[in-house]
């Protein structure tokens, strides 16, 4: 396991604040308030460990397949349905959405090989990530990847807590399945818009892992 580069500034600031608060509690608390001091320090350490764990990147053996869409995110499948895409395709697409809780790994990866042909950041609201309107109203970053079998759209969506989307996509660049796409901080969602003939390999409620779990088959 390693720590994602996007987490280093946050972890550094949190460590300093935790150390300062711990020092102040030890200095200012009356000597007979030992239990309260212990509780405060324990809460601070647990909070720091949570922040560190949020930016973790576990060691994984990735799944590669030219006929399968691999999950771009860790989390829970919350949507599998046909939708009309108004941003790029202007036609019906199969949407599969993965909700990431604050406890999930939050690095995002490309679900298939291809060329990035579209990348756009959209400022917006911060509705809870499971709200259907979050797909179109929230802060988000959309990218489209194309290969000789399919064209798909991947949408990183900020949630009520996640207010910073990091996206590494560059239009014109060729990318590989499971290559890092970006990162979303503190709870969020990723939508995939797939061809209508894609065959889902998951159901609503399934828990998936980025780079490992197959969401759908296509182009076979």
126-165 pLDDT per residue, tens: 666 556 666 667 788 999 999 999 999 999 998 766 557 8
Same domain, 10 and 101: no
Same domain, 87 and 139: yes
65 is catalytic: no
Q: What span, in angstroms and rounded, lies between the C-alpha atoms of 153 and 192?
A: 6
Same domain, 126 and 165: yes
Instruction: With respect to residue 147, please indicate whether it lies within any of the assigned structural domains.
Output: yes
Active-site choice (134, 135, 188, 213): 188
Overall pTM surpassing 0.85 (yes/no): no
Contact yes or no for 167/195 (Cβ under 8 A): no
Q: Which tops the pLDDT comparison, 34 or 77?
A: 77
**Three-state DSSP class for residue 110:** coil
Domain count, the chain: 2
Same domain, 87 and 140: yes
Q: How far separated are the first and last CA of the chain, in Å rounded? A: 35
pLDDT tens-place string over residues 47-87: 999 888 878 888 899 999 999 999 999 999 999 999 999 99
Q: What is the dihedral of CA 55, 61, 67, 71, to 10 degrees?
A: -20
Instruction: With respect to residue 124, please indicate whether it lies within any of the assigned structural domains.
Output: yes
| pLDDT of 124 above 80 | no
Instruction: With respect to residue 63, please indicate whether it lies within any of the assigned structural domains.
Output: no
Phi/psi of residue 137, nearest 5 degrees: -105, -25
CATH of the domain at 142: 2.70.70
Contact yes or no for 179/30 (Cβ under 8 A): no
Mean pLDDT, residues 113-130 taken together: 84
Query: Which residue range is the domain that position 19 belongs to?
Result: 2-57
Q: Which tops the pLDDT comparison, 106 or 162?
A: 106
């Amino acid at each position: 396991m390693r720590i994602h580069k996007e987490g280093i500034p946050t972890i550094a600031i949190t460590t300093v604040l935790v150390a300062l608060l711990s020092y102040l509690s030890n200095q200012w608390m009356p000597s007979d308030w030992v239990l309260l001091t212990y509780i405060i320090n324990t809460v601070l350490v647990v909070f720091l460990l949570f922040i560190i764990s949020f930016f973790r990147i576990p060691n994984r053996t990735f799944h590669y397949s030219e006929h399968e869409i691999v999950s771009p995110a860790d989390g829970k499948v919350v949507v599998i349905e046909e939708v009309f895409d108004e941003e790029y395709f202007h036609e019906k697409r199969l949407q599969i959405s993965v909700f990431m809780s604050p406890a999930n790994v939050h690095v995002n990866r490309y679900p298939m090989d291809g060329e990035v042909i579209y990348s756009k950041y959209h400022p917006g609201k911060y509705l809870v990530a499971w709200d259907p309107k979050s797909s179109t109203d929230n802060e988000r970053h959309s990218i489209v990847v194309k290969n000789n079998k399919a064209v798909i759209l991947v949408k990183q969506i900020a949630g009520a807590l996640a207010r910073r989307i990091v996206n590494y996509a560059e239009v014109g660049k060729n990318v590989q399945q499971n290559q890092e796409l970006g990162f979303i901080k503190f709870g969020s969602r990723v939508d995939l818009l797939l061809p209508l003939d894609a065959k889902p390999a998951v159901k609503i409620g399934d828990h998936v892992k980025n780079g490992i779990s197959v969401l759908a088959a296509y182009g076979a």
